[in-house]
Amino acid sequence: MAKVRAPLMSFDARGKLADSLVYLGWKGLKTVRQYVIPANPKTELQKKQRAYFKTAVGEWHTSGFTADDVKAWNLLALALKEALSGFNIYLRLKLDALIAVKDWNPIYNVSIAATDGDTATLTATGFEALSYMLYYGTSKTAMFNTTQ
C-alpha cells in the first residue's frame, strides 16, 4: 500500500480506478493499493448461511409488522442491553431458530391500553398459545422486570 500526497492531481481520491487501483483513506492517511477481486467461497455451508439470511431479512420486510411492532422490537433491544436495533435482534433470533431447525412463532399487533395507576393491559397476536417473555419497567431504558 502506497501513501500519496495529491492522488490523481487532487487533494483526495476514493474508490476504484479501472479495476487496477483503489484509492482510500486509512487511519487518516491517503493511500492507494492494487485492486484485488475479493474471494467469495461458494461452499455449501456458505450458500446455506446466505439462504438463512435471505429468509430472515425477507420475513422482516414481509411479515406486516406495524410501527408499534417495530417499536416493540427496538424496545426489546434496549431491554437486552445490547447495542443493537430491533431489526438486528429479530435477525439474531430468527437465524438461531433457522439454524437449530426450530419453529418460529412471532407475535404481532402489540399494543398497550391506557394505564390505570400501577396496571396496564397488553394485547398481542400470536400463532399459537405459547409462553412468551414480557419485559417491563419504569422507562424504556429501565425494563428490569420480566414475567412469562
Q: Report how far residue 95's alpha carbon sits from residue 88's, in angstroms, rounded to the nearest whole number.
A: 10
Report pLDDT for 9.
Answer: 53
User: Is there a single domain that holds both residue 127 and residue 101?
Assistant: yes
Confidence check: pLDDT of 87 > 60: yes
User: Is there a single domain that holds both residue 69 and residue 92?
Assistant: yes
User: Is there a single domain that holds both residue 15 and residue 56?
Assistant: no
User: Is there a single domain that holds both residue 78 and residue 110?
Assistant: yes
Q: Does residue 39 fall inside a structural domain? A: no
Amino acid (1-letter code) at residue 20: S
Domain carrying residue 9? 2-34
Amino acid (1-letter code) at residue 94: K
What average pLDDT does range 10-33 have in this prediction? 71
- Average pLDDT over the chain, rounded to whole? 78
User: Is there a single domain that holds both residue 71 and residue 119?
Assistant: yes
Handedness of CA 118, 142, 57, 70 (dihedral sign): positive
Report pLDDT for 37.
Answer: 81
Count of structural domains, the chain: 2
Closest CA to 21 of 11, 38, 33: 33
Confidence check: pLDDT of 22 > 60: yes
CA angle 98, 103, 105 (to 5 degrees): 110
pLDDT in tens, 57-77: 999 998 878 888 888 888 888
User: Is there a single domain that holds both residue 74 and residue 103?
Assistant: yes
User: Is there a single domain that holds both residue 29 and residue 59?
Assistant: no
User: Is there a single domain that holds both residue 107 and residue 64?
Assistant: yes
